[in-house]
Every structure is written in structure tokens, then in C-alpha cells.
Chains A and B, each alone.
Chain A
Amino acid sequence: METDLVIEKLKKSFDTEVLKVTKKSERRATVSVKPESIVRIAEYLYKTAGLRFIIASALHTKRGFEINYHFSLDSTGLVLNIHVIINRENPQIESLSNLFNASNWIEREIHELFGIDFLNHPNQEKLISEGNWAEGVYPYRKEFK
């Protein structure tokens, strides 16, 4: 019930930005949204709906780059994935790190491993391979062997 309520409210607040809702169970749901609305949706989830940012997972698929932003509603055990698809040619998306510090490191890591740019990130330096890795080579992309 609680899960339906969270999703309904999200859909009501961001009617045109929500593309698809998949509810797998009471505690697992994925909402696909337009990438340009990610900051406003994350702000709503964090500040208004009281969800906690767990982590983001980037994927390199046939559709381009995809990011799942995982949020947790700890009062019900819900993991809400906010899913976006980003253009393959020029992968970039607005950073969430000005909203909460929790996404700071993972955005740096995704930038480093997948080559996705996080716009307006406060400090998009390399996180794990400082000075140790060739520029423009992204080891977590599928073509990297």
C-alpha cells in the first residue's frame, strides 16, 4: 500500500517526466524518468518523501548508458530505482551532489569507469585511479576487454 502511495505521489508531481513504472513487489519498484528531470525528482524523493540515497549503478547496454539511482524508504523496506537512459554519443547528466554528499563519490567513480559526465559536479576528479590510468579509456564499458 505504502509503495503504491509513494509511486502515485511521484507520478502526480512529475506527470510528464515519468515514462514507465514497474512494480515488482511491495518492496521493489523501478520508475523510468526523463534524464533532464533527475535533479528535481531526486530532490523531491530526498527532501519531501524522505527517501535515502543508497547508490547509483551505471550500465552500458544496447540502448546506450543507463543509470539506476537506488533510493531506500527505510520505514517500509522499499528500494525505489529511478532509471534513466542517456545518449551514447555524448553521455552526460546533471549531478546530484549539490543535493546530498552521498552521490559525490559514486558519480566520480561512474565518470571514471564509464566516461559519463556529471554536469555541475562540485569536484569531478578521479576517485580510484588518480594518475594511474589512461585518459579516455573506460574499463567498465562493454567494449573494454
Chain B
Amino acid sequence: MGTKTLIPIGPYHPLQEEPELFKLFCDGEIVKDIKWETGYNHRGIEKLSESKTYDQVFFLVERICGICSTSHPFAFANAVEEIAGIDITDRTRYIRSIIGELERIHSHLLWVGLAGHFLGYNTVFMWAWKYREPILDLFEMITGNRNSYAMFKVGGVRRDIENNKISTIRKTLSDVKKKTDLLTGAVMDDPVIHARTKGVGVLTRQDISDFGAVGPTARASGVSIDIRRDDPYAAYPLVSWKVITAEEGDVFAKVKVRLLEMYESISIIEQCLGGLEKTPEGDIAVKVNEIPEGSGTGRAEAPRGEVFHFVVSDGSNSPVRHKIRAPSYVNIATFKKSCIGQTISDATISLAAVDPCYCCTERMAVALDINSGRKLMNAKELIELSLKRTIELKKKIT
């Protein structure tokens, strides 16, 4: 006897949403270094994909992310259709873009809510998540699911958006637009939010190109990249819209880019609904015989940035290699720049600013003393520190 058995449960327990660990090394108040540990839930999806048929892979990649669950099937469809040279119908294009943009709206609302929570604005959190609900209801009406919609397949989509549903979608969108106005006004005009986010977690253009960051993270630093415009797919070349950018590169710029992007998404969906009315109902797929030998590159602009899929086919019914790169993979690495030199109380919002694909920063961030390695505070305490800072600023400003 005499041996001790250690059973580790948490903080990286699979029961928790997403087990990752950020170690912030601090000297007094200031973050000096950051280390990242992940892989606690590595599912080997690229390898798994090699054992699935092309039709099955859609359901597999849909489960990579629970929030932007359609962006991976989107990119995978683009890649496989490139290998097989499939030209999809216009109605398919419109439906795919509608699903993609609805997802962007609900994902951005979710992020605005979380950012509000980290800053101590729990009303923003409650509002944003409440306004997100009608979008999920639309998904339920269109696809039967509130999340993981199973809409995509090679050469088309699985369900049509019948014309009699269009008026409901329009009505919900106009409601969401009004709520977005309210939310945008509340966030953009609040002096405390300005004080907490301006000049915090700044990424320069050089940082973006060095780390290869994408999506709103890049666009908020003045790097105008958007796969929907640069490498157009689905219905994006058929509708008109703007790529939103900001120059400052701080957390406020990222908030601004995301909020304004929601208006563009609403406009894209409205135009796509017009497109649906002009195309025949039910024309949502083309016949696909086989996937020939070759390789294909599929890209899609997810709410967090470019999703990249590289698929190699040997002519059989499964891919022989399937490389997947989610946008958070490159965006999270920028923490090395955005967090170092910040105070600990600004660290949580800097970490959250790139909208990393996890919803539970509080379980991951730990502050350590740079000399002794001693644990200073856990994430809950970090958020409390962030809240305290907001309260102090509020007193000072008002």
C-alpha cells in the first residue's frame, strides 16, 4: 500500500464545455508571458474523416463546432465540389448563404453577450442572448434543428426553404434589426465600455500578417480580408454588401466590426430571399455520380474568419486526406501579442476579443507569479477583477 492514486477531475474535464488552459505569467499586475495547453479533447477528426464516405463527412465536420456548425460543411462542400467540378443551382446558392448568414448573426450576438458578461454588463449578456433566440427559432423552422442543421450535401442542400416561409423569415429579420439597433446604440455610446475596450489588446497589421489571423480579428486591424468577397462562393457574388473594417485593432474595434457585420448579414439574407422567389421551388440539388481522383480546396468565411478544408481524393468514396483549419487556430495564437503587457484585469476581455471558439474562458485562465510560478488567481477571480475595474471606471466617469 502506501501509493496514492490521483484522479484528476477538471479543470480540463470532458464534462466541461471545452477543456483548454491558458497560463498567464504575471509580474505584479502586468501579464509577462502566456502559455497555452490544449488537446485535452482532440478528437482526431481529420483521421476519422478518412474512414467515412463523403456523405457522412458532412455530419462529422458539422460537429467540430457547436456555434458555427455550418461553416465546416460549407467549406467541405466547396472543396468536394471543386474536385468533382460540380456547378450547384442558384437556389442552392441562396439557401446556403442564408444559412451561413443567419449563423453569423447568432454567433456575433452570442459573442457580444459574452463580451458584455466579461466586462460586467450582464444586461447586455441577457439582451444579446434573448435577441439570438428568434434566429435559432428560424433555424428550427427551416432545418428542424436549432443547431447542427444537417443542411449541406455534395451538390446541394438537404431541405428547401419553401416560398411560404419567406414572409416569416423577413418578419423575424426586421425584428432582429430593431433589436440590433438598440444593442449597437447601447454598446457604442457607453463611455465605460469605451474606457474598458479602447486601446486594450491592440493587434497591428504586422501582427495580423505574422500570425496569419483572419476574420473580424484581422478586419478590426485594418486588414480587409473576407473570403466571401475575395474567393466568392455560394450566393455572395450575386448580392451586394460591404466588408466592414476598422483601423484601431483594439477590443472596441472588434466589437464595432462584429456589430456592423450583423447589418450586412441581414441585408445579404434579404437579397437572398428575393433570389429564392425568382428560382423554382425544389431545385436544390444536382445529381452527383462519383468524386474523381484529385484534390480540392474549400474555403468559407465563418463568423470567426476563414475556414479552410483541403481534401484529397483517390477516386474512392472516402477522402484519403482531409486537412481542416478552423479560424481560431490562427486567431488564438495572437494572444501572445494582445495579452502581453496588459494588466490582469484586461486579460479576460483581450482573450475573449478574438471570439475564440470556446464559451468558457472562466475555466481556463490562470494567473501565475512569474518568479515563483505560484498561482495567483483563477478565472472566476479574473472576471471578478474585470468587473471591479468596470465599477471603478463607472464611478470615475459618471
Contact = CB atoms under 8 A, between A and B. Distances in A.
Size band of the A side of the interface?
20 to 34
Contact of B323 (A57, A75, A77, A104): A57
B170 interface: no
B47 A139 contact: yes
Contacts of B323: 55, 57, 68
B333 A100 contact: no
Contacts of B209: 52, 100
Nearest to A28: B297
Given A102-B210, A129-B39, A129-B42, A140 B47 contact: yes
Interface residues of B, number: 31
Given A70-B297, A128-B42, A140-B47, A101 B211 contact: yes
A52 B327 CA distance: 14
Interface of A: 27-28, 30, 52-55, 57, 59, 68, 70, 72, 74-77, 79, 81, 100-102, 104-106, 127-130, 132, 139-140
B189 interface: no
- The main secondary structure of chain B at its interface with chain A is mixed
Given A55-B323, A70-B308, A101 B333 contact: yes
A3 to B, nearest CB: 12
Interface of B: 37-39, 42, 44, 46-47, 82, 209-212, 225, 230-232, 295, 297, 299, 306, 308, 310, 312, 320-321, 323, 325, 329-330, 333, 336
A41 B210 CA distance: 16
Contact of B210 (A28, A75, A101, A132): A101
Given A70-B297, A130-B39, A140-B47, A104 B333 contact: yes
Contacts of A79: 231, 297, 299
Contact of B231 (A70, A77, A106): A77
A139 B38 contact: no
- The main secondary structure of chain A at its interface with chain B is mixed
Contacts of A53: 212
29 contacts: A28-B82, A52-B212, A53-B212, A54-B306, A55-B330, A57-B321, A59-B312, A59-B320, A59-B321, A72-B231, A74-B225, A75-B230, A77-B231, A101-B211, A101-B212, A101-B336, A102-B210, A102-B330, A104-B333, A105-B329, A106-B325, A106-B329, A127-B38, A127-B39, A129-B42, A130-B39, A132-B39, A140-B46, A140-B47
A68 B212 CA distance: 17
A99 to B, nearest CB: 9
Contact of A100 (B39, B47, B212, B297): B212
A129 B37 CA distance: 9
Contacts of A77: 230-232
B310 A68 contact: yes
A46 to B, nearest CB: 8
Nearest to B232: A77
A19 B299 CA distance: 27
Contacts of B232: 77
Contacts of A70: 297, 308, 310
A102 B209 CA distance: 8
Given A77-B231, A77-B232, A132-B39, A54 B210 contact: no
A66 B394 CA distance: 57
A53 B212 CA distance: 6
A81 B310 CA distance: 10
Given A55-B308, A101-B210, 12 more contacts: A52-B209, A54-B308, A59-B321, A68-B310, A68-B323, A70-B308, A79-B297, A100-B209, A102-B210, A104-B333, A106-B329, A139-B44
B254 to A, nearest CB: 19
A26 B211 CA distance: 26
A74 B38 contact: no
